[in-house]
Amino acid sequence: MNELNLTYEDVEGIAGALLAVFFILIEKFKPAREMNKMDDFKYDLLGFLLIPVVVGLSRNSIRGVIGYFNIESMDLLAGYHSGLKIFLSLLITDLFLYLNHRLMHTDFLWNAHVWHHMPKNLYWFSGFRSSFIHAFMFAIPGILVGFFLFNLNFTELCIAYSYGAFAQFFTHANIKYKLQALSYIIVTPHMHSVHHQTGDHTHKNFGVMFSCWDRLFGTYLDPDSVEHRQYGSEKPENVSLIRILLGI
């Protein structure tokens, strides 16, 4: 199954590179709105270059704790079809990501998340801004659910993590599309764009992969029911870039 000795994170990286090419092309030919991507490019690039570092450190830290305490997997649904295990892993992970996301919108954790909300233009590249604490909080559910609950094998992990990478690209993409019914199942760019707008809109549409959690917990805001606002939260006063990148 893995003759090249790849890790699932290698496969996730390859999927990310292919997705980057795809979204560059689709944003070029089917943009939802015109924008000057150079406005924030240096910070978007910084976020993109740092994401493998902060995500890698976060995942390795969590795996280190699991190894130190010799935590064994519960291996739920052992013997069941891989499709069911992957779907439930993504769904449960997404529930915890939704809850984490809401926590990061509290005053106590806002500094961990504000870096992600600062871009004035929203497109696939700007969606990679994550502080270390942000990345750490988002890494916990994927590892604990994939390993501790379901003990996903290599192929299952590759599929799950590659879909997570797709969701990251897709939800922040600046693309025009006609399948609005998708928003009843997954988080779409149109739906997520509201979350990156200023004012009280930013406290709506917290979903990461699936839209059911916002609808279930009353945080869904129909993007067609509200007037569009500008993107980008302001940098907190007296907080250095280093602190923003760390999330403190």
Q: Is the dihedral of CA 236, 239, 242, 245 positive or negative?
A: negative
pLDDT at 109: 94
Q: What is the pLDDT of residues 160-189, one digit of tens each?
A: 999 999 999 999 999 988 777 888 999 999
pTM for the whole structure: 0.91
pLDDT at 198: 85
pLDDT at 4: 65
- Report in angstroms the alpha-carbon separations of 118 from 37, 53, 102, 200: 14, 20, 17, 15
**Contact present, 244 and 115 (Cβ < 8 Å):** yes
pLDDT at 3: 64
